[in-house]
Amino acid sequence: MGDSILGKQSSAPHEVVPASTFTAFGLKAEAMPIAPGLHVVATPIGNLGDVSLRALGTLAAADAIVAEDTRVTKTLLAHYGITSPLVAYHEHNAAVIRPQLLARLRAGAALALVSDAGTPLISDPGFKLVADALAENISVTSVPGASAVLAALVVAGLPTDRFFFEGFLPAKSAARRQRIAALAAVPGTLVFFESSRRIVETLVDLAAVLGGRDAAIARELTKHFETVRRGALPELAAQLAREATPKGEIVLLVAPPSDAAAALRSDDVDDKLREAMMTLSVKDAAAVVSAETGQPRRQVYARAVKIAGRGK
């Protein structure tokens, strides 16, 4: 019997299974055996050269590779001559496949978990599998490597001592602005994933809520057409609105609130509230001003209610 869907098996009890191999730099290398358990393996985010030798060895030696999209992972495996069997594991089949994977792990298998690109569990369905494996005292090992979040942070030119990864914002503008307002006071750089078709709308909403904060748009990181654009949110929104829809994967980063915004006097906040309430409800005005100034939303709302009450 050959490879099964969940692992490599020998055809006889005492048959010696050939050593697993991978090819790198034009040379074939033998992969060292790996311990039973779940191995969380980072893969390249674009440039196939951004994979570690440890990751290649782990993928080659694994009884099976658990992949979000097997078609994507096959490209990487083919490039490095890795023949480990693949198992598709994504949000649509997770409820069915996860128990099978856990059973295999309990039986002593060594499985490698990968995402479409980068580090697994960052905006992909791997978290539940890892959590369930740990709950059953199954070993979970990290094989670190590329990450779009970190790759974007180091080239954005924005503060990196603190950052908050949000993932994708809501698709609808109203919900998106509400979520942006909730993130406005976070004392660190905000990191988002965004689709190319929605990037202009998102920039407009970020500018409307956060004002003129500095930002960066990192597109197609590590690939041939990698670009990083930096500027204030309103400027970036206006620039992209005049251009054709950009292609490729996008990481969007926004600077934290400035010290000046955090130190605004109460009179400044009141002035901003009065101006905002000329076109917005008390609640919405408070949300916008809280986001713009970095002041606690509850306190800003209380001031807005007082101002509105004095106007009656």
HEC sequence for 118-166? ECCCCCCCHHHHHHHHHHCCCCEEEECCCCHHHHHHHHHCCCCCCEEEE
42 and 139 in a single domain? The answer is: yes
Single-letter code of the amino acid located at 10: S
**What global pTM score does this model have?**
0.78
Contacts of 66 (CB under 8 A, 6+ apart): 87, 89, 101, 111, 112, 113, 114, 129
Helix, strand or coil, per DSSP, at residue 114 = strand
- CA–CA dist 190, 294 (Å, integer): 13
Alpha helices, H only, the chain: 53-61, 70-79, 94-106, 126-135, 148-156, 173-183, 199-210, 233-241, 259-262, 266-276, 282-293, 297-310
CB 42, CB 146: distance < 8 Å = yes
Name the CA radius of gyration of the chain, rounded: 24
Looking at 94, 120, 146, the residue that finishes a domain is 146
The reported pLDDT for the residue numbered 17 is: 55
- CA–CA dist 40, 32 (Å, integer): 17
- For residue 240, being part of any structural domain is answered with yes
What are the structure tokens assigned to 289, written together? 């001003």
116 and 178 in a single domain? The answer is: no
Looking at 129, 146, 163, the residue that finishes a domain is 146
The number of residues in the chain equals 312
User: What is the tally of structural domains in the chain?
Assistant: 3
173 and 194 in a single domain? The answer is: yes
Contacts of 158 (CB under 8 A, 6+ apart): 189, 214, 215, 216, 253, 254, 255
245 and 276 in a single domain? The answer is: no
Please count the helices (runs of H) and the strands (runs of E) in the chain: 12, 12
CA atoms within 13 A on the CB side of 240: 25
187 and 88 in a single domain? The answer is: no
142 and 155 in a single domain? The answer is: no
Q: CA 235, 241, 246, 250 torsion: positive or negative? A: positive
Nearest CA to 111 out of 7, 5, 1, 4 is that of 7
229 and 187 in a single domain? The answer is: yes
231 and 124 in a single domain? The answer is: no
Q: What is the pLDDT along the chain (312 residues), one digit of tens a residue?
A: 334 444 454 444 445 456 799 999 999 999 999 999 999 999 999 999 999 999 999 999 999 999 999 999 999 999 999 999 999 999 999 999 999 999 999 999 999 999 999 999 887 779 999 999 999 999 999 999 999 999 999 999 999 999 999 999 999 999 999 999 999 989 999 999 999 999 999 999 999 999 999 999 999 999 999 999 999 999 999 999 999 888 899 999 999 988 655 555 566 788 889 988 888 899 988 888 887 776 777 888 888 998 888 664
Which residues span the domain enclosing 306?
Answer: 261-310
CB 250, CB 151: distance < 8 Å = no
